[in-house]
Amino acid sequence: MSNKIVIDPVTRIEGHLKVEVTVEQGKVADARCVGTMFRGLEQIVIDKDPRDVPYVVERACGVCAGVHGWASCMAVEQAHNAVVPEMGRVLRNLMMGALWLHDHVLHFYHLSALDYIDPTAILSYTGGSPQLISVRDKIKALAEAGDLHPILPSYAPDDFCVRDPDVVTELVYHYIQALEIQAKGRKASAIFAGKQPHHSTMVVGGVTFYPTLGHIEQFRRIIREVIDFVRGTYVPDVLAVASEYLLPLERASVGATAGHYMSYGGYPLDSHGDRMLFPSGVILDGDLDSVKPFDPTAVVEDLAHSWYKDEPRPGHPASTFTSVEFDKPRAYTFIKAPRYQGKPIEVGPLARMLVSKNPSFMKLLKEQGITRPGVVMRHAARAVDTLVMADMMDTWIGELIQLVGTTGIYGDTGSALIHDTGAWEPPKEGRGAGLNEAPRGALGHWIEIADRKVKQYQMVVPTTWNASPVDEQGNHGPMEEAIIGAPVPDVDNPVNVVRIIRSFDPCLACAIHMIHPKGEKVIPLGLRVG
């Protein structure tokens, strides 16, 4: 006997995602990730001035704020043959790095942690910490008032959940602290970006903002608070939970994919992009010891099960058009199926840590005997990924101070240029690609210019890779692959399914954008207290 479960929408993610799974003998036998909206931003920018495109497409999402504007600038700059000056490079790294720290902290505490704890354990806290007693009393009061919305919706805790009152109460206390910390990450970014979300100082060819030493000091003061929290609280919390309480879940390979990973590479460490904080590379077929060079021509978009008109064969994003076909047979989502050498590829922090062979993360895998990383190691990878970014911030701040000059006088040696003004005017014809790493994974924008206007534009975002549907060859996308085989002992409480989905940190607002008028069944959620 099989049971079909429809979760619509999946909560505590960005955007609107429906997931359908078939459960047989207590495990998921089949899965479909359904993107129920259509983006359409690419069509909006056709025939527009290429320099205006970053302002439009960065509004794909207010959470992935900045990453689309940056990737779009990179694509247009390549088409313009523009070279971003050193100060522009450093300022971009700093403003986007601050958002990186904001994003990962928010994802763990506010979007995912509730999947792994039993909040009712707080009511049994008997320790002496004034802060934790305050948390316990607050949650108790909310429970008695029937107003637990700050920690809802949630599935019922299962055997994998952390139930130790001391641990759970401290995690919820950190959840509350993280609300302020993630906001500080955005505030720091806005010092150089003008505002957040949707920065106003990053433009094609560089930036428009000259920082003073006062601006830099203000940024450094705020970002150090965020970094202190990352190093002292966030990373220890994730690694402790991942390597102890949730290890049985990981050792059961819950949430593992087919083993294909990719990073475009991101965050240039020099003006030519020869060295990157996150290197590019590809891992195929679970061979974690072999990182292959990334070939940008090997990316194609398969439309077999997407609500778009078929093309003769899967094409490269730079040369394919997007044309909606709502009534297409077999189609079930607005998300396309990007493939690399024909394979579904996982992108994101886990891919970055494996491709870069991060020593701390590889040591964790080895110590725990994990060869097929899944749902828990995806969180651990994100924590280490955050640490990599945090460790670079002081270096970039130092570079910026040197570029500005200790006296605060700009441009006396020519090193304080912020923009390639000579490449501002659009070429008559040109092509460009902006391939970068966003917190959620590999992000690509492609542009073609004709008669100084945009002729073609395409975006393939991280969630398009991870939440992609079945392709023409019958291969499931990484998220669907990760869900298949997951244990679901109680069909009314598919907590492992949402654990896996949230571990990818999906952003459907980026992957797709305009709502579809047809609604579907919604599973009501509740929290069992007392």
* Alpha helices, DSSP H, located in 156-275: 165-193, 213-229, 235-240, 247-251
Q: With 50 as the cut, is the pLDDT of residue 386 above it?
A: yes
Q: Residue 288 corresponds to which tokens in the numbers above?
A: 């974690």
- List the beta bridge partners of residue 447: 432, 457
Q: With 50 as the cut, is the pLDDT of residue 529 above it?
A: no
Q: Is 309:325 a contact under the CB 8 Å cutoff? A: yes
Q: With 80 as the cut, is the pLDDT of residue 525 above it?
A: no
Of the chain, the percentage scoring pLDDT greater than 90 comes to: 77
Question: What CA–CA distance (Å, rounded) separates 444 from 301?
Answer: 12
Q: Which residues contact 94 (CB under 8 A, 6 or more apart)?
A: 189, 192, 219, 393, 396, 397, 400
10 Å Cβ neighbour count for 248?
A: 11
**pLDDT for the residue 314:** 87
Query: Which tens digits make up the pLDDT trace of 79-129?
Result: 999 999 999 999 999 999 999 999 999 999 999 999 999 988 999 999 999
What average pLDDT is seen over the chain? 91
Confidence of residue 308 (pLDDT cuts 50, 70, 90): very high
Of the chain, the percentage scoring pLDDT greater than 70 comes to: 94
Taking alpha carbons only, the member of 26, 25, 66, 3 closest to residue 443 is: 66
Q: With 90 as the cut, is the pLDDT of residue 290 above it?
A: yes
Give the residue with greater pLDDT, 150 vs 253: 253
Taking alpha carbons only, the member of 212, 206, 66, 162 closest to residue 376 is: 162
Q: Is 136:123 a contact under the CB 8 Å cutoff? A: yes
Q: With 60 as the cut, is the pLDDT of residue 513 above it?
A: no
- List the beta bridge partners of residue 443: 436
**pLDDT for the residue 153:** 65
Q: With 50 as the cut, is the pLDDT of residue 429 above it?
A: yes
Confidence of residue 410 (pLDDT cuts 50, 70, 90): low
Phi, psi (rounded to 5 degrees) for 124? -100, 10
In this prediction the pTM is 0.93
Q: With 50 as the cut, is the pLDDT of residue 522 above it?
A: no
Q: Is 314:343 a contact under the CB 8 Å cutoff? A: no
Q: With 60 as the cut, is the pLDDT of residue 300 above it?
A: yes
Angle at 503 between CA 25 and CA 252, to 5 degrees: 45
**pLDDT for the residue 407:** 59
Q: With 70 as the cut, is the pLDDT of residue 497 above it?
A: yes
**pLDDT for the residue 12:** 85
Q: Is 460:467 a contact under the CB 8 Å cutoff? A: no
Taking alpha carbons only, the member of 283, 275, 289 closest to residue 351 is: 283
Q: Which residue has the tokens 């106003």?
A: 200
Confidence of residue 404 (pLDDT cuts 50, 70, 90): confident
Task: Tell me which of 211-215, 347-351, 401-405 is least confident.
Answer: 401-405
Confidence of residue 523 (pLDDT cuts 50, 70, 90): very low
